[in-house]
Structure 1
């Protein structure tokens, strides 16, 4: 068959690889939808319309809201990105201010371009020993709100990719007094409601709009997400219009059915399965607690860098002696384990309720063996990351539409960036489109280049030039 992608996926399916990566159904282990193609229909009679739901889709969304503890829930078939875009556009118009956690997903930046909103940033701290981001604090958010009292809303991410959780309840209390909405990108936390082992969800803690990716950590296919609302501050009619704009006009009934089936699973047999899942996480963490050269992120970081809680379902592994991309390669080639992410400083095994005891055992044995093989290696020096306060000169929308040109990095001081410069990890922009490039930023970029830090976002792969506004 001359179908390279289809063939490659079939080879991967039959390879014996264990998937510690998305989606959360783990290659079909957690959901049976063998007849999916037979259920792939359009908006025929009796099957409702996602963008004007008043029948079975509306019934399914109401059941979903009850399961997740929301007042209303909306199915998303274009992933959490479309929910984030719709949420921001429902609150902000051209020129409105939006307070944004600097470690937010790129879809937030897309929403700023589409809406014309003006970002005002709140900076999470970097956790020094790990070079990942901590949380944002209620105090920091209140300070930015006081400086921008006309801001319409605040958007933060919690939990983060690595499982860091902010104090949502305190942040929500601050914003309630200021009559600002709280939007939470909780794409990595849809599982947290279903066992007390995990942190409380953003909806439980008082957020107004919460977006969750079911496909990340629950048994649901890629692109299936849900947007939840709580309280009476959200303009529901505008939100519905924005959701219709951000999503396909031909929503997949397979995806919607999968969300509905996942919700039913969570209401029934999922309760017992979550108990087993939690025990597997505990056993894994207990089994690797004697490792000496690798480090597994745990709740010892709670209380540092504004971190309020931590999701132990994220298995984040750090090394001070070896590039963690190599660990990912070894796990793949020798142990037949594929991780969600490997970067120079750490790697992430993403778990879900669909993971098996055999999968956890395979990963545990592999990590113990890899750790022993690192005994003779010297520690390497980690780079300290610095992020100056951004100087926003024009909105992301103006920057996106403006004429642009390449200049040498050394000649860019004082100019307005037309692209991102993002050291990864930790994955936060040093500069974003519409922001001034300062002498300090150029010095930091050069330092990172000398230290072989991976920098993404720049069009010029040599990193010698940067795209700026003309």
Structure 2
């Protein structure tokens, strides 16, 4: 597969050109990669008005993912904002007021999009515990019938690696003529499993992938995918909607990494991924034999529920970092490790050795507090843009939240802008070490 963006950047660099254009380093910076860092000069195309090398590269990505695919150099955040815009515009085109039924574990960028676009949210709390937001087909259908949303928005996989039954959930959405959008930020690689578990392949109407999270792509590289049918309606508007939220200076280095990844995904990646999954399975089994509790879910996450082993996730993380092994995420309950095919066999062996040096202790029994459903008194937009102030969490009972309070996944947000802060929300925030919260000024 050709890599037109990479080829152009290399060709330009080889000319030893006189750079009378941005950026200011002129290709002669101190980091070593500046020579390929360009702006929209002649021949370089434009990300939001594609007609040349970027268009060709996006077409290559589309063929790999089996659906219309658009690049983002601002991560899945830009893609989520664009998805929400499409959902809102689609509702308005049908004479409806946008109302999105969303899993309570939605990323903060979804909530910020709600403030910017001023759409209504109805929250799905899920069927099981506070941290997983598992949505069954029965729950989804019940909520669709009761709330009459114009779209459904779900996160899959979540930060802990839990997977939803997207195929069944998509069939419920289609039954009720409701669009299904998936935040697949952690699951770009799911397309390259056998069989594919990618949301578009399972029936979603649109989704975002943070390519940089699981593929060989620079941080910030992401994809926005639309189904063929939805793309037929909105293909002339997608780039226009992306411009609402994007920088006018997209990174050519990030675009080049997305472009270069196409060749890898087209040739060696499936085999490398399959082999890596086998190695990760061996590691998971070794950790289980040592006494660790490993959550089931997506194959390329190792999520350890640490309290059964006698430690908090923070304590296990400290052990790992003493071995110069750095986890993706950790808190009181869990530690999340994210290998990829680009981790070596030695990397996984070092991880196993370090974890298996830790001796099991008595179970830690302090569990997270039970969360009650929150009461909404104003819209997300009203709350986020209202005059606000920071106060101590311990003094926030009865106040109206004005910001995204829990900054770290995987927790389902105990309180969202526009909701009244309850006693249970305060207990959850304290559990996660959150000492202050922004509230609407009285």
Q: Deviations for 1:134-157, whole angstroms, at most 9, x for unmatched residues?
A: 4222222222221222x3211110
Counterpart for residue 285 of structure 1: 284
Counterpart for residue 157 of structure 1: 155
Would you say 1:316 and 2:306 are equivalent positions?
A: no
Q: Deviations for 1:10-61, whole angstroms, at most 9, x for unmatched residues?
A: xxxxxxxxxxxxxxxxxxxxxxxx9743221111222211101122211111
Counterpart for residue 202 of structure 2: 205
Q: TM-score, normalised by structure 1?
A: 0.79
Question: Which of 432, 436, 442 pairs up with 1:454?
Answer: 432
Q: Which moved more, 1:40-49 or 1:110-119?
A: 40-49
In the alignment, the residues of structure 2 paired with residue 353 and residue 390 of structure 1 have an alpha-carbon distance, to the nearest angstrom, of 41
The number of aligned residues is: 402
Question: Which of 416, 421, 425 pairs up with 1:432?
Answer: 416
Counterpart for residue 91 of structure 1: 87
In the alignment, the residues of structure 2 paired with residue 410 and residue 258 of structure 1 have an alpha-carbon distance, to the nearest angstrom, of 46
* Contact 1:157 1:185 survives alignment (8 Å): yes
Alignment map for 1:192-341 (pairs within 5 Å): 192-196=190-194, 200-234=197-231, 235-292=234-291, 294-298=292-296, 310-320=297-307, 321-333=310-322, 335-341=323-329
Q: How much does 1:404 deviate?
A: 3.1
In the alignment, the residues of structure 2 paired with residue 38 and residue 434 of structure 1 have an alpha-carbon distance, to the nearest angstrom, of 47
Counterpart for residue 189 of structure 2: 191
Q: Which has the higher helix share?
A: 2
What is the alpha-carbon root mean square deviation over aligned residues? Answer: 2.4
In the alignment, the residues of structure 2 paired with residue 160 and residue 115 of structure 1 have an alpha-carbon distance, to the nearest angstrom, of 24
In the alignment, the residues of structure 1 paired with residue 298 and residue 181 of structure 2 have an alpha-carbon distance, to the nearest angstrom, of 20
Q: Which moved more, 1:414-423 or 1:321-330?
A: 414-423
Question: Which of 431, 439, 442 pairs up with 1:467?
Answer: 439
Q: Unpaired runs of 5+ in structure 2?
A: 1-30
Counterpart for residue 302 of structure 1: none
Q: Of the two structures, which has the highest relative contact order with CA contacts closer than 8 Å and spacing of 6 or more?
A: 1
* Contact 1:181 1:233 survives alignment (8 Å): no
Q: How much does 1:245 deviate?
A: 1.7
Q: Unpaired runs of 5+ in structure 1?
A: 1-33, 299-309, 461-465
Q: How much does 1:199 deviate?
A: 6.4
* Contact 1:398 1:434 survives alignment (8 Å): yes
In the alignment, the residues of structure 2 paired with residue 255 and residue 145 of structure 1 have an alpha-carbon distance, to the nearest angstrom, of 39
Q: Deviations for 1:228-265, whole angstroms, at most 9, x for unmatched residues?
A: 11032353333321111222211111111110111110
* Contact 1:199 1:311 survives alignment (8 Å): no
